[in-house]
Chain A
Amino acid sequence: MKQILSFLLIFFCLSSCENGFLDLTPESQANVNDFYKNPGDILNGVNAAYASLQSGSLYGGRDFMDMTEYRGDNTFDNDPSANSGLRYNVDRFLAGSDNTIFESVWRRLYLNIYRCNMVLDNISNVTMNATLSKQYQGEVQFIRALSYFHLVQLWGPVPLVLKVQTTEESRLNIRNSVTEVYAAIENDLKLAAANLPKSYAAVDLGRVTSGAAKGLLGKVYLTQKKYNDAIPVLREVINSGDFQLMPTVAEVFDPKKEYNKEILFAVRFSLVNNSESHGLYYSSQIGDFVDPNLRSLYSITDTRKSMLDLRKPIGTQNQTALKFFEEPTNNVVGTDFPVLRYADVLLMYAEALNEVGYQSSGDALTSLNTVRTRAGAIPYTSAELSNQASFREAILLERRMELPLELHRWYDLVRTGKAKDALKTVGINIQDFNLLFPIPNSQVQIYNNPSGFSQNQGY
């Protein structure tokens, strides 16, 4: 009996002495508990916020283009059959709140914001160089502001999340007013402009600069029609001398001259490995995706016209515009996507000045003509743009010709109140409610809060 008891004792001990046997931590994946402890972790967190912009739902793919470029009058999706018209329906204003493109873009923008919040919430707990800390904060403040700027333009009132939330907290979110969202965007960009350096060493080329933050702030003011705020901040960018127009438009998009002097901010890609690359932008099999009216706007000497010429990669039936063309390797390319460039800044500056007060000659006309001259178009004379309205029209037209396919057109049409007219000319009749997109159906259902989180009117 004794033997048995002592045997049992050993037996239990053998089993229960295996302390830690059940506490396995992931060996090949870092986990949250050990992270955001040192400056290196913070840097990784910041880089992930940039990386989020490369997503196929944003600058790395088609979904974002469907919402910001195809929605306008510059480009068309000609394939009602593909994926039951998933993209075609967005282009033709047929898509409802269940269209997965809307959710895909919404999700990714909030993921950017989450990654930025993660850095901002944790950075104060890490001992590090103060300048570097400011830079990191500035970088994610910019990315957060850019994300909210898209959200508020696409959907209007959206939940304003400026701290990391638990899922329980998150369920209590409501759609904050457009004013609140813009206030947060402005605040972020002002801080970013103050926190960020003017430039970086070559290895860090691509990080947000103070100039980029100011440029975006200018655009945020302009969109809110705060022209008097927009003018000084855009002027600062212009006077800084940090940016300039490339000699030709082609050079701006030359894959060999990426992140050139004209770029304030671009989302960077590379062929160095597959996850850093993207498919050919605007690749289309069926028909010409560019509006013929747009092509006919350019004069013969205008070098921007050829940027819209269709090009086929060798041996394919896909075609894309020269602006974003690079011969792909295994169907992917590594070209950057420009988010904000100097020509845009000049045109925004001209627009803001004109809105404050028409001047027959001066900075506004000079800025506009600088852009035209570079492209080989004939500069406007004061006589041609003899009043505020005609100048306003000329600017919008110029933006259309200078920036097509760069995801500005839908925003420009909404900002200037021209969306309905513009779409009518291409045979699409829209109503006021169409100026905002439907909130993804899944989100309306999850919040299940008709007073605090309702669907946009008309959907």
Chain B
Amino acid sequence: MKLIRFFRVSKGLNLILFFFIFSSSMVLAQRTISGTVSDGNTNEPLVGVNIQAKGTSIGAVTDINGKYTLAISEEVTVIVFSYIGYLNKEENIGGRTEISVLLDENISLFEEVVVIGYGQQQKKDLTTAVSILSANEIKNVPVNSIDQILTGKLAGVLVQQTSGSPGAGLSVRVRGVGSITAGNDPLYVIDGVPISNDNNRGFGANNPGSSYAEQPVNILSTINPTDIESIQVLKDASAAAIYGSRGSNGVVIITTKKGNSGKPVVSYNTYFGRQETLKRYDMLNAYEWSLINAEGRNNAYRDRFPAGKDTDDNATRAKNVPNQPGILIPDQVKPYLSNTSGLTNTDWQDEIFREAPIQNHSVSISGGNDVVKYYASGEYMNQEGIVISSGFKRYSGRFNMDINSGKFKAGFGLNPTLTKHDLVNSEGPWFDQGVIGLALSISPIWPVYNENGSYNYGGNAWGFAMTDFLNPVAIANEIQDNMDHNRVLGNMYASYDLLKNLSYKMSVGGDINNFNRDFYRPSTVETVGRKGFSAPIGTSQTRFSTNWLVENTLNYNTVLGKNTFSAIAGFSSQMENFSSSYIEATNYPNDLVQTINAAGQITAARTFKEAWSLLSGFGRVQYDYANKYYATASMRADGSSRFGKNNKWGYFPSASAGWRISGEPFMADIKTISNLKLRASYGITGNFQIPNYGSVGLLSYDDYILGGTALSSGLAPSNSSNPNLSWEKTRSIDFGVEIGLFQDALYLELDYYKENTTDLLLNVPVPLASGFSTELRNIGEVENKGFEASLTVKKRTKDFGFSFSANFSTNNNKVISLADGVPQILTAGGTGVTLWITKPGEEIGSYYNPVYDGVFNNQAEIDKYPRVANAKPGDFRFVDVNGDGKIDFSTDRQIQGSYFPDFTYGSSLNLDYKGIDFNISLQGSQGAEILHLMSRYIYNIEGNMNLVRPALNRWISESQPGDGQTNRANRLATGSNGQTSNWHLDDGSFMRIRNISLGYSLPKVMLKKVGISNVRAYVSVLNPFMFTNYIGYNPEVNSRPDSALNPGEDYGSYPLARTYTFGINMTF
């Protein structure tokens, strides 16, 4: 019933019916036209050029010799030649039967064909904000994943590599962050099939046996980048509104390569590379560390026993201050204090990082004839991680086929892949056994291996109040954690021309994912805090998801004089089902067999099923008058199982208009300006990334033990019901200007936008006395507004090509309102004392912590200043923010910036001369702050964990105050120095050279003799340089990329890699 109501309200559909009635088809006399199509520069015949009778769907394609034959009715007066990368050409037929043309290579973006939702359009006709990345820009950079290509390339599309882990996800944000708790990932549409984001967590869970969430799996990591034809990002709501309730985070449309008619073209691409860490921490060596270790203990000792001397031995210390191992000097540290040379001095970063190889081979074959075209490819990629024992392999295949037989068209694409992740817990903090966190924290006095070759666990259960650290090399090498991801992504379509101008299309899509993960922690890896063999733990997890889509669309196009109409209307239904299982076991007799069957006891076992469904109707009409005045309107209705009972359906309208001023007669004289277009759009989109059953009050098991060991099932509500639960809505306006100068050799595009997201989905804090801490509700409003500019300069002569592009974006994020009664949302991160604030007038998830202001140099300074109770000289001075004369960390806090950059930019330069090509691209971000929570450990000057080099600038005494910014060494810290404050904040601004590559293509004349059409060899360096003041590995780090409320935390992260690559592209 809802659909019928939609049908009534949709003007778009009525319009289509109107066209049906007034259109008619007639039978007319036929004639045949033939000819050759060649390149205007080289005169070489072009294969696969489309020739179409204007205003009809009748067409032909050139063959291997550039020849074509076209049978058309006498009514047709114009034929159009179009070819990717070339300018379209229209020819008046007149009386000719042979028409041969030369096509000019297209250096203008303006004529480019852009894939938009449910259709395509020429760029010059666009009235919405769409960013385009074409095959040309993709082909020369060896990357292993699609989103890496996007990095820094498109204005308004922020791609952040939050982790360097192979196969890990990148964070892609289109025009800022609009949602607080629902997802902020864009919708990916691959060959027309909207892909679900729900698989990006892999298992949606933590590392086995850990409490810290792992970095997401990259759902695009299964796609072979060489299969990509183009990527478009629909940025404004008007463009994205056709995707309705999934459009508010932008839509990334990925189109894969299709075959061209002609004899088969075989390509072989390969590259080999070496990866190394781009940046490392400068840590103390064993001698330096020992010095601070002892100093921290001497200070702790004298805090408790002022008469104590640094030279007191441990027995004396224990007598003076009983039962406090934190004041003793560990026996193992003593030799270092006397500067005995030749002692163990382990650089743990050297031990866990390596130079890692990467290689890729991909083969494709494409070809076809007028009726059938195909593209097939196979790829193998093997990337070892720069952290030992981590890696990623991909085996992927693709087969695309298209059939064009007069009124009937059909096709399919099939993309089976297998990816294998060799996982290491690298991102987690040391206390969660993250190997990087451990490598930075563990003392350098321990060797990696004992003399007998076994792992050294000296850092574990050491005593002397030393924190327990496991050996990170042992964890990386000995814990087995492998995940296989099997995926089949496919689509199929058939269309039929019902009338001259009207076609019907049905398409079906499917995405099947199967994850399998096995984990085993052997007895040889010690348990934290316990010496000796541990009890092994094994887990086995599976996750299976199927996603299917059925779409029916009607397409109508007509030209009436200078009026061009096109319209589309359709219905689609989509559903996704998940099932997962988890088994955890222990009591393995030994480490020989590591699968669950060998375990003596299953400690946890569960399976889980979930599903969502989406039913949609949509329509769009596009109109242009004389290629000057454009208008578009669209409407989508989405019904989703995720929404509450009272809110099952949502409606998403949009409208846009454009004026191509350069088409006006008064502009005809201004030759410099080849193109000038103004456009404006408005639309409403939604965000459907809310929990599957968020509106339903769910019960959770909470069992109890009775009678000793009998498990008695308990069930209690775990969330409250909200039948009004709805999607988040984004209203957005966009104004754009496009200017092309000198035949579009210089092309500038400017956009201003403002997006207001309302009905934010928020877990609103409710009184705990209600039995819940939060309730999921639609409240509040967030605004994102910004400015984007992109510039392209292109110049091409016969031998020399030059292109330069640059982009710049700003985005201002502001919370407008939250729920009534919720003045602000405070969110904790990796520790309970670290806070982020989300409140009206501020950015989502701003850092909100006490303000540190240097160290106290002496007791006199302490006495005249508000301070925490046990502050001593050398401890941090905190600012009494509210001026009440005392330091209270619950109130003395201040907003201290956010993870959002002020602006981001990217630029790339391509040069080619004869056979040589050169590319350099860079990317940067300015003004983001990073919360380097690792400082809490490796910069705390307790002398407990290893420390970064600046720790040497500590306060030692009043006469040796260090740099005046760094607290004194103290194993039993006083003065709350560890309280997260702006001391832990660091500037995340950076500029990174993304890529430098140099290639050489062998002369074609030479190759032709051996039957090869193209060979290019190249060398490239990915991430050669990074300019930043950030202390950690990666200034784009984000421990929780999925959470908008507490972003930007660095609690141990996988460093980025610098990759040196050599590769060859060959075409036969």
A interface residues, Cβ below 8 angstroms from B: 1, 4, 7, 11-12, 14-16, 18, 21-33, 35, 41, 44-52, 54, 78-81, 83-86, 94, 96-98, 100, 103, 106-107, 110-111, 113-115, 117-118, 159, 161, 164-167, 169-171, 173, 202-207, 258-259, 268-270, 272-276, 285-288, 313-318, 329-331, 440-443, 445-448
**A314 CB contacts on chain B under 8 angstroms:** 530-532
Question: Are A41 and B715 in contact, with the CB atoms below 8 A?
Answer: yes
Bound-state CA distance A117–B772 (Å) is: 13
- Binary contact track B233-270/A, C-beta < 8 Å → 1, others 0: 00000000000000000000000000000000000000
Shortest Cβ gap from B710 to chain A (Å):
6
Question: Are A24 and B704 in contact, with the CB atoms below 8 A?
Answer: no
Question: Are A118 and B717 in contact, with the CB atoms below 8 A?
Answer: yes
Q: Beyond A26-B693, A31-B697, is A52–B702 a contact (Cβ under 8 Å)?
A: yes
Shortest Cβ gap from A174 to chain B (Å):
10
Report the nearest B residue to A86, measured CB to CB: B832
In the complex, B95 has a CB within 8 A of chain A: no
In the complex, B976 has a CB within 8 A of chain A: yes
Question: Are A81 and B942 in contact, with the CB atoms below 8 A?
Answer: yes
Bound-state CA distance A228–B495 (Å) is: 90
One of B272-280, B462-470, B1014-1022 at the interface: B462-470
**A44 CB contacts on chain B under 8 angstroms:** 713-715
Q: Which of B3, B640, B693 contacts A15 (CB 8 A)?
A: B3
Question: Are A258 and B696 in contact, with the CB atoms below 8 A?
Answer: no
Bound-state CA distance A158–B831 (Å) is: 28
Question: Are B979 and A84 in contact, with the CB atoms below 8 A?
Answer: yes
Bound-state CA distance A274–B711 (Å) is: 12
In the complex, B315 has a CB within 8 A of chain A: no
Question: Are B325 and A286 in contact, with the CB atoms below 8 A?
Answer: yes
In the complex, B611 has a CB within 8 A of chain A: yes
**A315 CB contacts on chain B under 8 angstroms:** 461, 526, 530-532
Question: Are A170 and B769 in contact, with the CB atoms below 8 A?
Answer: yes
Question: Are A11 and B696 in contact, with the CB atoms below 8 A?
Answer: no
- Binary contact track B1-32/A, C-beta < 8 Å → 1, others 0: 11110010000000000001100000000000
Question: Are B692 and A30 in contact, with the CB atoms below 8 A?
Answer: no
Question: Are A49 and B714 in contact, with the CB atoms below 8 A?
Answer: yes
Bound-state CA distance A38–B773 (Å) is: 28
In the complex, B600 has a CB within 8 A of chain A: no
Shortest Cβ gap from A47 to chain B (Å):
3
**B21 CB contacts on chain A under 8 angstroms:** 1
The total of Cβ contacts below 8 Å across the A-B interface reads 296
Bound-state CA distance A70–B465 (Å) is: 20
Question: Are A313 and B832 in contact, with the CB atoms below 8 A?
Answer: no
Shortest Cβ gap from A322 to chain B (Å):
17
In the complex, B828 has a CB within 8 A of chain A: yes
Bound-state CA distance A160–B831 (Å) is: 32
- Residue of B323, B716, B980 with most partner-chain A CB within 10 A: B716
One of B165-173, B368-376, B760-768, B951-959 at the interface: B760-768
Question: Are A170 and B766 in contact, with the CB atoms below 8 A?
Answer: yes
- Binary contact track B976-998/A, C-beta < 8 Å → 1, others 0: 10111000000000000000000
Bound-state CA distance A448–B823 (Å) is: 10
Shortest Cβ gap from B882 to chain A (Å):
13
Report the nearest B residue to A313, measured CB to CB: B530
**A274 CB contacts on chain B under 8 angstroms:** 584, 603-604
Query: What total of chain B residues lie within 8 Å of the partner, measured CB to CB?
Result: 109
Bound-state CA distance A36–B61 (Å) is: 69
Question: Are A287 and B610 in contact, with the CB atoms below 8 A?
Answer: no
Question: Are A330 and B586 in contact, with the CB atoms below 8 A?
Answer: yes
Bound-state CA distance A96–B893 (Å) is: 14
Shortest Cβ gap from B976 to chain A (Å):
6
Question: Are B696 and A84 in contact, with the CB atoms below 8 A?
Answer: no
Q: Which of A29, A84, A285, A442 contacts B700 (CB 8 A)?
A: A29
Bound-state CA distance A29–B609 (Å) is: 9
**A100 CB contacts on chain B under 8 angstroms:** 828, 832-833
In the complex, B57 has a CB within 8 A of chain A: no
A-B contact pairs, 6 of them (CB 8 A): A80-B870, A80-B974, A83-B978, A204-B707, A273-B604, A287-B323
**A161 CB contacts on chain B under 8 angstroms:** 769-770
Shortest Cβ gap from A119 to chain B (Å):
9
Report the nearest A residue to B327, measured CB to CB: A287
Question: Are A29 and B639 in contact, with the CB atoms below 8 A?
Answer: no
Report the nearest B residue to A26, measured CB to CB: B693
Question: Are A24 and B716 in contact, with the CB atoms below 8 A?
Answer: no
Report the nearest A residue to B890, measured CB to CB: A98
**New A-B contacts (11) at CB < 8 Å, excluding given A32-B697, A47-B715, A96-B888:** A25-B696, A29-B700, A47-B703, A48-B715, A51-B704, A167-B766, A274-B603, A276-B703, A330-B535, A331-B527, A441-B890
Q: Which of A86, A115, A316 contacts B529 (CB 8 A)?
A: A316
Tell me the B493-510 residues at the A interface (CB within 8 Å). 498, 504
Tell me the B828-866 residues at the A interface (CB within 8 Å). 828, 831-833
- Binary contact track B321-343/A, C-beta < 8 Å → 1, others 0: 01111100000000000000000
Bound-state CA distance A268–B704 (Å) is: 8
Shortest Cβ gap from A287 to chain B (Å):
5
Q: Beyond A15-B615, A269-B705, is A317–B529 a contact (Cβ under 8 Å)?
A: yes
**B4 CB contacts on chain A under 8 angstroms:** 12, 16
What 3 pairs across the A-B complex have the smallest Cβ distances? A114-B771, A315-B531, A98-B890
Question: Are A286 and B465 in contact, with the CB atoms below 8 A?
Answer: yes
Question: Are B978 and A272 in contact, with the CB atoms below 8 A?
Answer: no
Bound-state CA distance A313–B944 (Å) is: 23
Shortest Cβ gap from A253 to chain B (Å):
16
- Residue of B468, B573, B575, B708 with most partner-chain A CB within 10 A: B708
**B772 CB contacts on chain A under 8 angstroms:** 114, 167
Bound-state CA distance A270–B604 (Å) is: 14
- Residue of B775, B833, B944, B971 with most partner-chain A CB within 10 A: B833
Q: Beyond A26-B698, A45-B714, is A16–B704 a contact (Cβ under 8 Å)?
A: no
Q: Beyond A23-B641, A446-B765, is A107–B461 a contact (Cβ under 8 Å)?
A: no
**B3 CB contacts on chain A under 8 angstroms:** 12, 15-16
Shortest Cβ gap from B572 to chain A (Å):
9
**B461 CB contacts on chain A under 8 angstroms:** 315-317
**B870 CB contacts on chain A under 8 angstroms:** 80
Bound-state CA distance A317–B463 (Å) is: 6
In the complex, B972 has a CB within 8 A of chain A: yes
**B831 CB contacts on chain A under 8 angstroms:** 83-84
**A4 CB contacts on chain B under 8 angstroms:** 20, 498
In the complex, B1027 has a CB within 8 A of chain A: no
Question: Are A32 and B771 in contact, with the CB atoms below 8 A?
Answer: no
Question: Are B699 and A272 in contact, with the CB atoms below 8 A?
Answer: no
Question: Are B535 and A21 in contact, with the CB atoms below 8 A?
Answer: no
Bound-state CA distance A107–B768 (Å) is: 6
In the complex, B607 has a CB within 8 A of chain A: yes
Bound-state CA distance A98–B461 (Å) is: 33
**B823 CB contacts on chain A under 8 angstroms:** 445, 448
Bound-state CA distance A332–B704 (Å) is: 17
**B527 CB contacts on chain A under 8 angstroms:** 330-331
Q: Beyond A1-B21, A28-B608, A170-B767, is A287–B324 a contact (Cβ under 8 Å)?
A: yes
Question: Are B833 and A84 in contact, with the CB atoms below 8 A?
Answer: yes
- Binary contact track B515-540/A, C-beta < 8 Å → 1, others 0: 00000000000111111101101000
**B639 CB contacts on chain A under 8 angstroms:** 22
Question: Are A84 and B980 in contact, with the CB atoms below 8 A?
Answer: yes
Q: Which of A26, A78, A79, A317 contacts B610 (CB 8 A)?
A: A26
Bound-state CA distance A124–B93 (Å) is: 88
Question: Are A329 and B535 in contact, with the CB atoms below 8 A?
Answer: yes
Question: Are B707 and A202 in contact, with the CB atoms below 8 A?
Answer: yes
Q: Beyond A44-B713, A47-B713, A84-B831, is A171–B821 a contact (Cβ under 8 Å)?
A: yes
Bound-state CA distance A204–B609 (Å) is: 32
**B603 CB contacts on chain A under 8 angstroms:** 273-274
- Residue of B21, B699, B822 with most partner-chain A CB within 10 A: B699
Bound-state CA distance A157–B716 (Å) is: 27
Q: Which of B532, B534, B766 contacts A171 (CB 8 A)?
A: B766
